[in-house]
Amino acid sequence: ANLRMVMGSPGELAWAAAYREAVVYPCAAPRVRKAWTAWSAEERRRWIAAIRLLDAQGHYAAFVGMHLYNADLIHSTAQFFTWHRILTWEFENAVRASAPEHACLTVPVWDWPRAVSARDAAGVTATADWTVFDEFLRDMGGPGGARGV
């Protein structure tokens, strides 16, 4: 029962366990996460292709479901950081296992200093409006763009 609270529904746990046994494509490079703004156009293209592939297979929705299922249990507890690290690691593993060309991809990080600087330069004060200054969200089809997923 505790594992269910931490990771997700029984079906999602079985799916996550299957990913641990999936084919893992080799990547000689260490995992180094960097801001989306530091990614090359080719890295961005591969990331968006990987997310589209996971979405077409229903796996992206499973990760979203795990997050939503546990949101009330995790977001206001001491488990917040640990749980999200595990979820991010497993999501990254799923991306890397999706195809050989995705083997070295890592989850991009949010470039807070850049986002805050852009927000301040534009005079935006509402937190919800910060997202329009983030290239990752725009490229993924979020606020300010529809080019991505």
pLDDT tens string for the chain (149 positions)? Answer: 233 334 455 455 555 555 555 567 889 999 999 998 899 999 999 999 999 999 998 888 888 888 888 888 888 888 888 888 988 988 999 999 899 999 999 999 888 787 778 778 877 776 656 565 567 767 777 655 544 45
Distances in Å between the Cα of 67 and the Cα atoms of 61, 64, 71, 127, 131 are 10, 5, 6, 22, 20
Q: Alpha helix locations (H) across the chain?
A: 2-7, 10-20, 41-56, 59-74, 80-97, 112-122, 135-139
- Give the C-alpha separation, 75 to 36, whole Å: 25
- Residue 57 DSSP label: T
